[in-house]
Amino acid sequence: MPVHPRPYLRRSQWRADHQRSTEIERRQLEKKWTEAYKHREVTILSSLLAEDFVITVEDGSTYGKLGYISHSADSSVQVEIAELSELKVRFHGNVAVVTGAYHEIGTSRGNRYEYRDRLTDVWLRSPNGWQVISSHYSVPVKL
């Protein structure tokens, strides 16, 4: 008796649907992180960042979880606009790599600033759910 391909297609469709659902969830968590940063919501930031989280910012400086959260909670920084675009999500087992663009406008110690960066965030699925383990921001160079 021939094997009918339909069960395979259903399984394949389930995998595709599951991956799309997980990708949407990663995008939503990226946006949640951005909003928590903008509004200095330390509890949310703490839940999204792994204990060994490290971020590399535009000038090459690196910060751990505590340093990043301390900066985010700094009341001398007022973020007016924090927006993500061009997000792409790639999965490798329990790891998701998110790349995209970031735009931020605000004031720091009374001085206006504006950033237009490229980002790479690495998320890990752990018993605590998805958490960011590494993030890198850089200023794109126009040639």
Q: What is the pLDDT of residues 10-19, one digit of tens each?
A: 555 545 545 5
Residue-number span of the structural domain to which 127 is assigned: 6-138
**CATH number of the domain that 115 lies in?**
3.10.450.50
Question: Residue for token digits 């921001």?
Answer: 137
Q: Is position 1 within any domain?
A: no
User: Which pLDDT score is estimated for 10?
Assistant: 59
Q: Is 28 domain-assigned?
A: yes
Does residue 87 form part of some domain?
A: yes
Cβ pair 124, 135 in contact under 8 A:
no
Is 143 among the domain residues? no
Confidence of residue 119 (pLDDT cuts 50, 70, 90): very high
Is 104 inside a domain boundary? yes
Across the chain, where does the E strand assignment appear? 49-56, 62-64, 77-92, 95-108, 111-126, 129-138
* Residue 81 included in any domain: yes
The alpha carbons of the chain give a radius of gyration, in whole angstroms, of: 18
Residue 130 lies in a domain: yes
**Is residue 107 in a domain?**
yes
pLDDT digits (tens, 9 = 90+) for 23-75: 788 889 999 999 999 999 999 999 999 999 999 999 999 999 999 999 888 88
Q: What is the DSSP letter of 61?
A: -
Q: How far is Cα 89 from Cα 13, in angstroms, rounded to an integer?
A: 19
* pTM score of the predicted model: 0.82
Beta strands 111-126 and 95-108 are antiparallel
Q: What total number of domains does the chain contain?
A: 1
